Structure 1
Amino acid sequence: MNVDLFDFELPPERIALRPASPRDHARMLVLDGDATRDLHVHDLPSQLRPGDLLVFNDTRVLPAQLEGRRGEAKIGATLHKREGPRRWRAFIRNAKRLREGDAIDFGHGVVAVAGARGHDGSFALDFASDEPVELLLERAGTMPLPPYIASKRGTDARDAEDYQTMFAREAGAVAAPTAALHFTPGLMTALGQAGIGHATLTLHVGAGTFLPVKAEDTDQHRMHAEWGRIDRATADRLNAVRASGGRVIAVGTTSLRLIESAADEGGTIHPFEGDTAIFITPGYRFRGIDGLMTNFHLPRSTLFMLVSALMGLERMQAAYAHAVAADYRFYSYGDASLLLPER
């Protein structure tokens, strides 16, 4: 499909620079079949049914933004995928000043040596020291806010909490599964009282999620791989919910993509552990999920293509036009949408 079909105009003032407070007071646009409703996240229990199951991504965001020097040259690095105990791939700013074998000093006793450059322009970085890389990042790194926020303000202490979900447990992401940022303990209690369950899986979100689609046709775009895991108990539970008539609602496109990667043609979800580079565009037949809660996405992005595959391109174009006109807040710290297609 032509990538231009997924373009839309977004006024810069619609980009949220801070999350709503409290988190579950963010607005929520509900697309339920043909119906459209303007609500808030704390209304979620009334929009789902007893027996439904929400699936959250329990990945934890690392402070994966680094600033350092190679000699006199300033070098910025955004880690995006672990390749080994001490090796990460990273997108590099001022990459023209970096060569394979160069050492980058990120301060605080953190040094990495540049390895081979990949097809996407990223470098492998091998971290020195015997300490776990996670400890090195805690010393030298900052939270990797998306470019559309970082270009408008600096990262600060608030982001260490704001850019982490209440489910964050498995360290390894360099971007937050932002739909889950809206959830609070109080909302989870209300959902449980309404008979709505929840489960977790792990997908370590990479910085590639923010890269624009530069190809003219979706068939020419290559997705970045991300590592994920669904254990057997979780897969069995998701299958049991659907078998009993309940719906599996993915919270975030990361949860959705991993479930779809683990589902077979018949809709059975299997245990999964490994990389996925699934790319979902209109025409895709969803196999493992029945709905999605997600934030509002970038124009021409793979994520806007995904929601258009779920609800229909014209439906999502109209929904986003409504969201812009109604002053919804967009992107990672913005408002939510609940997408429930006809079954």
Structure 2
Amino acid sequence: MLPDLPPPANSTGVIGWMRANLFSNITNTIMTLLAIYILYILVVPSVNWALLTADWIGDSRDACTSGGACWVFIYNRFDQFMYGFYPEAERWRIDLTFFLLVIQVAWLVIPKLPRKGLVSAFVLFVYPIIAYYLLYGGSFGLNLVETHKWGGLSLTLILAIVGIVAALPFGVLLALGRRSEMPIVKSFCVVYIEFWRGIPLITVLFMASVMLPLFVPEEVDFDKLLRAMIGIVLFQSAYMAEVVRGGLQAIPKGQYEAAQALGLNYWKMMGLVVLPQALKMMIPGIVNTFIALFKDTSLVLIIGLFDLLAIVQAGLSDPDWLGYSVEGYAFVALMFWMFCFSMSKYSQHLEKHFHTGHGSR
């Protein structure tokens, strides 16, 4: 018997993949060549403008002489884009706040590190207090920094993190209430969800900024940032509730019956049996809601909060930097894309880790 011959070189590797997927027939070949041409006429000039002929460092617009992108604008305004109008001498407090957050998140993400439950409790109950006193000050020898001085990417992250952390548990409770057999609880949750889903976020922010102080005693001073946070949480929790409800409905009825047969009460059944299975299937929907929330934070500019987008627009109105709006908006788009893409990739990692697919393996 003669030994088996290896497959032809043009049917394996990169060449084989290209022949099978890009040049398998006349139609695919034409479409591939057309796509290459379109990418060429779009990508090459963009790369040339943004990288090859761009100006990067300088003190003024006079340093932009090459005809490419003027990243000197971003270079000069970078600190303001990150911190807003936060006092320069106090910006270490923002750095320390987010550094602590990164350490805690890394501890929870890295699989082999111990005591994740203790770290999770610290993140949820202790860290917010530390972050509040670090950012706002007024105690422990820290200077008071009013929230109207907060801004830039740091404000965008604060709004997004608070909205994400608060909207998820609130949405879970609303979803459970909507599936409840108690008529009053179910009716309240249905009305709440449909009401907040039926109005745009921009209206919610206006209402939170203008009308919310009317419902509290006069001696209570509701900060503008706090009003925006409340509006965002109320709005996003309604969407989160529908995502959670979809996951709960996907759990077979036998899981509920098995939990009841074990003698578990309602909350133990939900916490130990149903929700852990449902949350695994809800990962794409939950992360999609988180990404939408992160991008929707840019709407706070309409109530006078200078998030990343607003602070860049304010910089573009400076007479010394007129005409560089493309660079400013490209920088904003890159920042948003980096965070949204990171959330998307981590959600894919979680899906693989928890094996959320239900097909045969």
User: Which TM-score bucket, shorter chain as reference?
Assistant: under 0.3
Return the TM-score normalized by structure 2.
0.23
Relative contact order, higher structure (CA 8 A, sep 6+): 1
Give the structure with the larger strand fraction: 1
